[in-house]
Structures are given as C-alpha cells and as structure tokens.
Structure 1
Amino acid sequence: MQHGTIYTVNLAQRHCDCGYFQVEQLPCRHVLACCANQHLDWQVYMHDVYKMSEICKVYRDEFVPMGDPSTWDIYDGAKVIANWTLRRTTKGRPKSTRYLNEMDSRDIRGPRWCTICGHEGHSRSRCP
C-alpha cells in the first residue's frame, strides 16, 4: 500500500486487517486489489443486501396509499418530557443527592431542641 502498511486479506473467511470488509460487508480496497491480482470477480464478496436484485425486491410489492385525510387520527404533536437536570438551579443550599440509611433517621439521633428557647420539637429558624 501507499504508506508501506501490510494488510492480510483472507477471501475464504471474508476477513481483512483494516476491518472495513467485516463491518460493512463490502469489499475494501485491499480485497479489490487481491481480486484484481488473482483475476477474481469482486462482486462475489459483496453482501446480498447491496445487490440490485435484492433492492428490486423491496419495490416489487405495491405500496398501499394512506387513504382519505379526514379518516386519519388527530395528531396532538410531539410529547415533550422535561429533563429536570437541565433546569436552572434555585437559590439556597443545594438539595442533597446522598442515599440515606438507618443512621440518618431523626429518631435515632433524638428530637430537635431549639437553641433560643430550649424547647423540644422545633429548631432555631422555626422558633415562635
């Protein structure tokens, strides 16, 4: 090849070191060079999907028309589902995304005590 790279081609197993022959199921330039060197027909190594006989089979059947537009279902438009991660961040402390376990429950640590009045059940920010 041009840059001195050597590619191994196995026509029996349909394999080439470049990988194009296996992925696309089409002869790559290395396979075409091998076929030209050995006087072989390169179309034998092309997958059936790419042959004109298979393409003609697609259009052999008759296409059914859609019918009268008044009988079609009403189109309501595309259904859009909002992605909450793309929303603007709100003010204040960010919401925790940590998974809580049994150590995080409030009843294990005890009730809240207000630091202003000393009563149980509320915090400093909710003190009456």
Structure 2
Amino acid sequence: MFEVREMQDGTIYTVNLAQRHCDCGHFQVERLPCRHVLACCANQRLDWQVYVHDVCKMSQICKVYRGEFVPMGDPSTWDRYEGAKVIANWTLRRATKGRPKSTRYLNEIDSWDMRGPRRCTVCGREGHSRSRCPQCTGPSSAGGH
C-alpha cells in the first residue's frame, strides 16, 4: 500500500499494487498502470510491466490475428441475400392523430340503450343531434354552431 502525492496540487492517491487499485480510477478502468502506479514501481524498483493486464499485452493481441482468415471469393458465387426479416413491434408505434382511444372499462350506465334516444339541443326532436339539425341548414351554420 502506497500513498502518492501529486506535485501540482498536493492531492494524495492511495495505490494498492496487490489488488491493482488506485484512487484515481485509471488503473482499474484502463487495466494499464497509471502514473501513480508507475511512481510506486520506480520508487520501489519494481517492474511496471507486471501490472499490465494480460488483455493489453502484445502476446495476447498477436493471438487474435493468429487465426486464419478465409477469403470471400467471387461475389457471383455467394448465396443470394434475401434481406433482413423485419418484425414490427406495435408498442413502439407513434400515436395516431385525433382523440386518443378510451381505455376506461364500460359498465351498464355507459350503455346507449339505458340513456334513451338522442335529442337535438336546437329543436328538441329525437333522432339527430345539433350538427345534423334540419332547422339549422344554410350558409350561416356551416361551422356547426
């Protein structure tokens, strides 16, 4: 366990080489020795390369490219590509224009049969509404009011 003090601002960082941990966070995230780890290694005459994670070593990187790459060949011999199969997800659809559909559960009070026939508010007759009233025909009632 080491304490490393920054020369610029005096911030103290704790370095634990056994657990590969430094307070700055770079050692854990990048899996490469940060400058605080390098300072500890230089002070104790330790090999800093020991603290480089195996994933970052050249021997491991060379193993990635050791495998054989098969050439693609002539494009005329390739299997025909039919395209991607698209399956619609209806939950991601945009809302349609207009008034949203009601999600309320209807009961017997909401039944049209129990309300009785529709009455016009202009003439009071049954069977039509204000917007279809025969008394309101003409150019002045084009707006419906």
TM-score w.r.t. length of structure 1: 0.69
CA contact (8 A) 1:25 1:46 kept: yes
Structure 1 residue ranges without an equivalent (≥5): none
1:78 positional shift: 6.7
Structure 1: distance between partners of 2:29 and 2:104: 49
1:32 positional shift: 1.1
Structure 1: distance between partners of 2:21 and 2:65: 32
1:23 positional shift: 1.6
Q: For residues 42-85 of structure 1, what are the alpha-carbon distances to aligned partners after superposition, in whole Å with 9 as ceiling and x for unaligned?
A: 11001111111111112222211112211223346677879644
| 2:52 maps to which of 46, 54, 58 | 46
Structure 2 residue ranges without an equivalent (≥5): 1-5, 135-145
1:115 aligns with 2:123: no
SS of match in other structure, 2:67: coil
1:34 positional shift: 1.1
Q: Which residue of 2 aligns with 1:95?
A: 100
1:15 positional shift: 0.6
Question: Bigger CA drift: 74-83 or 50-59?
Answer: 74-83
Percent of aligned pairs sharing the same letter: 67
CA contact (8 A) 1:20 1:26 kept: yes
Name the Cα RMSD after superposition: 3.4
More strand by share: 2
1:101 positional shift: 4.3
Matched pairs, number: 118
TM-score w.r.t. length of structure 2: 0.62
